[in-house]
Structure 1
Amino acid sequence: MKYIFNPSFQSSEKRIKTCVTNFDSEGKLFGDGQRNKIKLYDLGDKTINIKSFKIPNLINQVAYKYFRKSKARRSFEYANRLIENGIGTPQPIAYAENFKFSGLEESFYISEHLLSDLTFRELVLHPEYPDHENILRQFTKFTFDLHEKGIEFLDHSPGNTLIKKRSGNQYEFFLVDLNRMNFHGAMDFEMRMKNFNRLTPKTEMLAVMSDAYAKLYHKKYDVVFAKMCFYTNDFQTQFHKKIARKKKLLFWR
């Protein structure tokens, strides 16, 4: 197993390696673990989060060995780039990769576990959530800051932003599930609007985000709202078509 550590956690290498080695038999499961499995472990006065990525198929095993960085490595490297850019994400600790002759098998991303007050999903599911509009506007400012720094978070979806409340009705935002991300010199208007397409199908939420973004970007609200709705509707259409195709395939099994 190959390990790369954040220098700040090198004193904990032995403990972390033990957690990874015993991943199948130790640790507290976090989430449903249907695709990738996440477990929590104590590390002194901290809790760490170890994400075990699903073993890739044979083609991807080879690809991750010779042509592409693994999801674990990308998660670690992207987390460090986010922090360098002043963007919130749980502190990256290490990543581990287990290569066999055929290619990549096991891989793990290790980070500090962040306790949040909510995720963006709560805003979608509970429109009556306290301070809903204020949180949504601050989230839009957070996304605008990402875009201004050329960061395109490809999995900008409801469960991937953790939100912590601070004093004075201020909120902090932290990105998770980081392995799909692009870094640009600049992001144009179309790219920015498309980056909202996975967040919510609710028109009233898109209206608030469009208003906040238009003011930050110095563009007319109607233009921002129309484009944000266009990309959201397109994503929803493609998503539901995909679900329908899966149902048909399952029906014939």
Structure 2
Amino acid sequence: MSILNHRTVVLDPQFKDLEEFMLSIPALFTENKGVVIHKGRNELRRIEYKGVEYVVKAFHRPNIINRFVYGVFRPSKAKRSYHYANIYREIGVGTPTPVGYMNIRKGLLFDRSYYVTLTSTCPYRYEDLFTHDFPYAEEVLRAIGRTTAVLHEHGYAHKDYGRANILFQQLEDGSIKLEIVDLNRMAVGPIDMKAGCKNFERLPATPEMHRLMAEEYAKARGFDAQKCFELMQAYRSVQPGKIDGLY
């Protein structure tokens, strides 16, 4: 392929036979193939290939300055998503199985990128806790507290830890499966109690919901549960912003 229109495909070894599918993705989007999951600044589609269903996230084309920056200096959002998905899985945090990513560059300018995963089996999102009656809702909230603690103990904080980016389901044995999505923006560095509790600020919650998450989060990290609860309540009551000290 000409350097004027260069495509870089990276695949997890278990999906090494999917290069043809990856290269076809731009055309599939152009032809409106698959099922639209979300369409906004970025677009998510569920696409079937050879009997297997994948979720493809197409990131928007950056402005001209960022096209140069991403083309030369910075990793693409798709590459970051793939990188962090593998880290999540290494530390035991759920996320849909990463398949790979593709970057498209035109000369020195970055053009588009695509991130591909297997389709999650989790049918619900955090926001569904407010519209459905789950007899296991307490277990979901406690699982979120524990899972968030694992991420923070390893020095990772999701920068868009919101209502649509935490997926869940109850398994046959009664345990809760969580999967976190939209991983391209991650704060990396030591996370203390204040920064950790601030990371919950984008999750709407009643006081009882905050208390359940705070109890598990504090237990896992050796913090005071009451203090964590008070911090979560306080941070949720103000305009969400960046996590202090993390970039």
Q: Same fold (TM over 0.5)?
A: yes
- Identify the match of residue 93 of structure 1 among 86, 89, 99: 99
Q: How does 1:37-116 map to 2 (within 5 A)?
A: 37-101=43-107, 103-116=109-122
2:217 alignment partner in structure 1: 213
Q: Which amino acid aligns with 1:216?
A: A
Q: Is the 8 A contact 2:123 2:169 kept in 1?
A: yes
Q: Match of 2:41, SS?
A: coil
Query: How far is 1:29 from its partner?
Result: 2.9
The size of the alignment, in residue pairs, is 235
How far, CA to CA, are the matches of 1:85 and 1:136 in structure 2? Answer: 20
How far, CA to CA, are the matches of 2:223 and 2:25 in structure 1? Answer: 50
How far, CA to CA, are the matches of 2:21 and 2:72 in structure 1? Answer: 30
How far, CA to CA, are the matches of 1:167 and 1:210 in structure 2? Answer: 26
Q: Is the 8 A contact 1:201 1:233 kept in 2?
A: no
Q: Match of 1:178, SS?
A: coil
2:174 alignment partner in structure 1: 169
Q: What are the Cα deviations for residues 134-187 of structure 1, in whole angstroms up to 9, with x where unaligned?
A: 211122111112222222111111111111221232111111111001333x42
How far, CA to CA, are the matches of 1:86 and 1:138 in structure 2? Answer: 13
Give the direction of change, closer, same or farther, for the CA distance of 1:135–1:101 in structure 2 (3 Å limit).
Answer: same
How far, CA to CA, are the matches of 2:224 and 2:90 in structure 1? Answer: 32
1:143 alignment partner in structure 2: 148
TM-score by length of 2: 0.87
Q: Is the 8 A contact 2:82 2:115 kept in 1?
A: yes
Q: Match of 1:234, SS?
A: coil
Q: Report which stretch shifted further, 163-172 or 18-27.
A: 18-27
Alignment RMSD (CA, Å): 2.0
Q: Which amino acid aligns with 2:230?
A: A
Query: How far is 1:206 from its partner?
Result: 1.3
Q: Is the 8 A contact 1:206 1:225 kept in 2?
A: yes
- Identify the match of residue 25 of structure 1 among 25, 31, 34: 31
Give the direction of change, closer, same or farther, for the CA distance of 1:16–1:145 in structure 2 (3 Å limit).
Answer: same
Residue 192 (str. 1) matches residue 196 (str. 2):
yes
How far, CA to CA, are the matches of 1:72 and 1:214 in structure 2? Answer: 33
How far, CA to CA, are the matches of 1:219 and 1:158 in structure 2? Answer: 25
Q: Match of 1:235, SS?
A: coil
Give the direction of change, closer, same or farther, for the CA distance of 1:219–1:83 in structure 2 (3 Å limit).
Answer: closer
Q: Report which stretch shifted further, 217-226 or 4-13.
A: 217-226
Q: Is the 8 A contact 1:2 1:97 kept in 2?
A: yes
Moved over 4 A (4+): none
For structure 1, the residue ranges without an aligned partner over 5 or more in a row are 239-253
How far, CA to CA, are the matches of 1:96 and 1:158 in structure 2? Answer: 27
Q: Match of 2:40, SS?
A: coil
2:3 alignment partner in structure 1: none
Q: Match of 1:98, SS?
A: strand
- Identify the match of residue 162 of structure 2 among 137, 157, 171: 157
TM-score by length of 1: 0.85
How far, CA to CA, are the matches of 1:53 and 1:209 in structure 2? Answer: 32
For structure 2, the residue ranges without an aligned partner over 5 or more in a row are 1-6, 242-247
